[in-house]
Structure 1
Amino acid sequence: MGIFDFLKTKKVNDETFNSSQFQNEILAFALWKFNETNDYYKVEKELWGIQDFDLSEKQIKIIIEKLKVFNEKKN
C-alpha cells in the first residue's frame, strides 16, 4: 500500500451496490437532487461527483432508471 492510497476513491463493488440498504440510500440522494433540479442529467452529474466512493457508469445508469420509474409511479 502506497503512502497516498488513502486518497484514492473507493469503488463500490456489485455486492454492496446491489444491497437494498445501499440502493435505498443512493436512490434517496438521487430523488433529493432531482427534486431540487428536475433534471436527470444534473442528478447523474451529482452521482459522478460523490466523493466517498466511485460509482461506475453502469451503476449510475441503474440509479437513474430506478429514479425514473419511481417518478413515473409517483405521478
Structure 2
Amino acid sequence: MSGLQRALYPARIWQDDDVYYVQFLDLDNGFTFGENLNHAKEMAADVLSALLASAHNEPIKLPQKAQGSDIYLIAAN
C-alpha cells in the first residue's frame, strides 16, 4: 500500500436530542447516526467503506473540500 493515500470524505455531523446524525456531503445515500460523536464517526467510517466497496466499476466521486464546525473528515475502514 505504499504510495496510496486514503481519501478523507467530509461529513456533516449534528446532534438532535440524543442522536448524532451523519450526512456525507459528496456521496449519495451517505447517511447514518450514532449514540454519541465517537459512535457516529465509527458508523460513518463503516458506511463510507460500504459505499466505496459497492461502487464496483462505477466512478467514485472524489471528496471535495468543506469547512465548518459541524464538518468532520472521515476515512473508510
- Shared topology, TM-score over 0.5? no
Q: TM-score, normalised by structure 2?
A: 0.33
Identify, as 1 or 2, the structure richer in helix.
1
Identify, as 1 or 2, the structure richer in strand.
2
Q: TM-score, normalised by structure 1?
A: 0.34
